[in-house]
């Protein structure tokens, strides 16, 4: 599906994390949309589609980059789309955004034709990516572009030795999460180049977008670290031992002596990979 359809409360927490992700890692969006503008040439895309839009980070980055374009945002979670439409009103672009609630596993929604399709961290959620890629190709006008962004997992923030608990907490969290995702999200971190070619696209390029923010982090980045660790705690409650759960709880206790937002040794490290593919003209 286009972003997992979570319970309402989890939708709100995920939306908060995605909003912070977009704020803290804005250079990733800026670099990728600039690359798209270069490849698209003139005239720029007039109609764009954001698959698995979440609360709209990609949607708004595309509208900023292509100020004459209109966008269709598709997500399976109505709460995400409510947040997106509210943000569109606040930004003064509500007339340029159409929100569509649709689960891509249930079929392709009737959204029309596009010059540009964007899928950021959403393809690994669908049950049949090959079918969705073919559907995207069918929705693109000849010569249109398809941008796919994939992540290799949650970003990392913590030093190896926190000064309490056992060293290597974050390494153990990520190992446990990879084990869980191996069963639940087998395409997380996938190389989308070969599937794009198999679906009939011409892959124009691939870029690795490294995330390296040195300490001390901004206040927003500290909040991003806290929200991310909170989601790790929720996902791994049954996979970590009591000592590691206690260490996470200490980091997540607001105002506590180990409150993660008070640390001056946090960094942000991660990696995204972007592919841009084109539907051939003939």
Collect the ranges in the chain with pLDDT lower than 70: 1-11, 182
Mark whether 205 and 226 lie in a shared domain. no
Contacts of 52 (CB under 8 A, 6+ apart): 1, 2, 3, 74, 75, 76, 104, 119, 120, 121, 122, 123, 125
**Predicted pLDDT of residue 10:** 62
User: What backbone phi and psi angles, to 5 degrees, belong to 150?
Assistant: -130, 145
**Predicted pLDDT of residue 6:** 34
- Rounded distance between C-alpha atoms, residue 59 and residue 149, angstroms: 14
- Terminus-to-terminus CA distance in the chain, angstroms? 30
**Predicted pLDDT of residue 217:** 87
Q: How far is CA 269 from CA 11, 97, 216, 228, in A?
A: 24, 32, 13, 13
Starting from the edge strand earliest in sequence, which strands make up the sheet with 47-51, in order? 97-101, 70-75, 47-51, 114-120, 140-151, 268-278, 202-213
pTM for this model (two decimals): 0.90
* Domains of the chain: total: 2
**Predicted pLDDT of residue 185:** 76
User: What backbone phi and psi angles, to 5 degrees, belong to 146?
Assistant: -130, 120
- Structural domain span for residue 67: 1-152+189-212+271-282
Mark whether 281 and 181 lie in a shared domain. no
- Rounded distance between C-alpha atoms, residue 169 and residue 153, angstroms: 16
> Which of 55, 63, 48 lies closest to 23 in space, CA to CA?
55
Mark whether 68 and 35 lie in a shared domain. yes
Mark whether 131 and 256 lie in a shared domain. no
- Rounded distance between C-alpha atoms, residue 140 and residue 116, angstroms: 7
Mark whether 204 and 261 lie in a shared domain. no
Mark whether 132 and 224 lie in a shared domain. no
Mark whether 227 and 168 lie in a shared domain. yes
Mark whether 206 and 167 lie in a shared domain. no
Contact predicate 72/181, CB 8 Å: no
Mark whether 262 and 207 lie in a shared domain. no
Mark whether 64 and 203 lie in a shared domain. yes
Mark whether 196 and 181 lie in a shared domain. no
CATH of the domain at 11: 3.40.50.150
Mark whether 115 and 18 lie in a shared domain. yes
């Amino acid at each position: 599906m286009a972003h997992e359809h979570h319970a309402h409360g989890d939708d709100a927490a995920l939306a908060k994390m995605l909003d912070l992700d977009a704020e803290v890692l804005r250079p990733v969006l800026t670099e990728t949309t600039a690359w798209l503008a270069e490849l698209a040439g003139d005239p720029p895309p007039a109609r764009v589609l954001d698959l698995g839009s979440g609360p709209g980070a990609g949607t708004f980055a595309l509208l900023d980059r292509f100020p004459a374009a209109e966008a269709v945002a598709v997500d399976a979670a109505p709460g995400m789309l409510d947040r997106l439409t509210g943000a569109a009103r606040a930004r003064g672009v509500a007339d340029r955004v159409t929100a569509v609630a649709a689960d891509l596993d249930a079929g392709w929604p009737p959204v029309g034709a596009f010059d540009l399709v964007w899928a950021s961290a959403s393809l690994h959620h669908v049950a049949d990516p090959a079918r969705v890629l073919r559907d995207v190709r069918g929705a693109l006008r000849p010569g249109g572009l398809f941008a796919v962004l994939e992540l290799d997992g949650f970003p990392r923030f913590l030093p190896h030795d926190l000064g309490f608990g056992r060293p290597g907490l974050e390494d153990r969290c990520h190992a446990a999460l990879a084990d869980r995702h191996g069963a639940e999200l087998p395409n997380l971190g996938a190389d989308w180049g070969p599937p794009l070619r198999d679906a009939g696209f011409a892959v124009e390029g691939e870029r690795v977008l490294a995330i390296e923010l040195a300490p001390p982090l901004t206040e927003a980045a500290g909040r991003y670290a806290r929200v991310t660790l909170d989601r790790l705690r929720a996902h791994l409650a049954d996979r970590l031992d009591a000592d590691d759960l206690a260490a996470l709880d200490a980091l997540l206790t607001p105002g506590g002596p180990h409150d993660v937002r008070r640390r001056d040794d946090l960094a942000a490290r991660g990696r995204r990979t972007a592919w841009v593919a084109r539907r051939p003209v003939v």
